[in-house]
């Protein structure tokens, strides 16, 4: 993701500050209609709810 500018970063002294462009579309043609923020929201939801195994 770093190769295409997601995330952007700035070096300040010995630290890097990263910033994600949430409205940027995903790169794969099948996912291009979705954006980075949608992926972040999905992952956050799965983290909060816990991932259920199929059939349980």
Name the band, by pLDDT with cuts 50, 70 and 90, for residue 6: low
Q: How many helices (H) and strands (E) does the chain have?
A: 1, 2
Question: Could you tell me if residue 29 is inside a domain?
Answer: yes
The domain total for the chain is 1
Q: Which residue has the tokens 């939801």?
A: 45
- pLDDT tens per residue, range 14-56: 998 888 888 888 888 998 899 988 888 988 888 888 766 666 5
Q: Can you tell me the distance from the alpha carbon of 11 to that of 25, in angstroms, rounded to the nearest whole number?
A: 25
> Which DSSP state fits 25?
B
6 in a structural domain: no
Look up the domain containing 37 and give its range: 24-50
| Per-residue model confidence (pLDDT) at position 29 | 92
* 56, part of any domain: no
């Amino acid at each position: 993701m770093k190769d295409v500018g997601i995330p952007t970063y700035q070096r300040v002294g010995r630290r890097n500050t990263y910033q994600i462009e949430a409205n940027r579309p995903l790169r794969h043609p099948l996912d291009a209609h979705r954006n980075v923020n949608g992926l972040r929201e999905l992952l956050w939801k799965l983290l909060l709810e816990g991932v259920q195994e199929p059939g349980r």
